[in-house]
Amino acid sequence: MSGTLTHTEFSFPGQTQVYHGKVRDVYSIGEDLLVMVASDRISAFDVVLPKGIPFKGQVLNQLAYGFMQQTADIVPNWTLAMPDPNVTVGKRCAPYMVEMVIRGYLTGHAWREYREGKRELCGVSLPEGMKEHDRFPAPIITPATKAEKGAHDEDISREQIIARGIVSEAEYAQLETYTHRLFERGTALAAEKGLLLVDTKYEFGKDVEGNITLIDEIHTPDSSRYFYAEGYEKRQERGEQQKQLSKEFVRQWLIENHFQGLEGQKIPEIPDAFVGSVTDRYVELYEKISGKRFEKAAHTDVLARVEANVNRFLSEG
């Protein structure tokens, strides 16, 4: 669709390399600066879908930047500036090769595993007798490996992470502490807006001085799942589906159209009407969780706008 930012190939002053991720394109400037461009690409089941979602990148970038500012007292983060609605500039960090997934409810991947009869996830025991979307007695951390491009993330336990030397035991304990504190803050911020933060993931790295640093994005609809708090208990009692703001409805649409990213499966044709509904969901979440009206950035030539704003920032810096 017109006005979507689905591919970038910039050449910024001082640029040393570029990495094209599933959703973000990351440009290295010199030795210690990163320019992260949030595209309008959307992924599900670790596969990038063929159509972009207008304004999705802007929603993700602005939400993530805002949440980084609201959690900076808990853990240092990588961000320095937001020179464009789709761009965050920050410091380079060496990433830990695990994603710290934390879950407050039996939903999504955790529910699909539970439904198959599994009562342990990433080394964490799951209570018997739970229903989909039930709240856990306390949030659980279920880490995942950070997969190489084109591969699937995989569940992994705390013990496996430490045994394989992916993260030292002391550092992993600190990652767990940060994860719980960030989730607690995110839960409180969501509650202020009438939402439940269901599950999310955090990624960490080390800056040049060796400090554990929060990287990537936090509390966005790509990394998190939200339910509406109002009516949650009644819907659970009645066995009804929860009203949620997340990317899960995209996954559900794909499942209904016989695609889960498995070998031999073909991505279904995605109607423009569905693309429009995805944009609406992202805007709805932005406005609900931020409490602000979403102001659509100029999108007649997004590439030119992004390039001009980043070049201006780099020249002034």
Summarised one tens digit per residue, pLDDT across range 109-150 is 999 999 999 999 999 999 999 999 999 999 999 999 976 654
Could you tell me what percent of the chain has a pLDDT over 70? Answer: 97
- CA distances 130 to 137, 139, 252, Å, are 11, 14, 21
- Cα diameter, the chain: 59
In order of their start, the domains of the chain are 15-92+250-316 (3.30.200.20), 95-246 (3.30.470.20)
Q: What is the pLDDT of residue 148?
A: 60
Quote the pTM value.
0.90
**Gap between the Cα atoms of 265 and 244, Å rounded:** 27
**Gap between the Cα atoms of 246 and 164, Å rounded:** 33
Q: What is the pLDDT of residue 185?
A: 98
What would the mean pLDDT of 267-293 be, rounded to a whole number?
A: 91
pLDDT score of 2 more than 70: no
Q: What is the pLDDT of residue 208?
A: 93
Q: Following DSSP, what letter does each residue of 232-261 receive, concatenated?
A: HHHHHHHTPPP-EEESHHHHHHHHHTT-SS
β-bridge mates for residue 145, sequence order = 98
Q: Kindly state the tokens that stand for 191.
A: 């509650």
Q: What is the pLDDT of residue 97?
A: 95
pLDDT score of 5 more than 60: yes
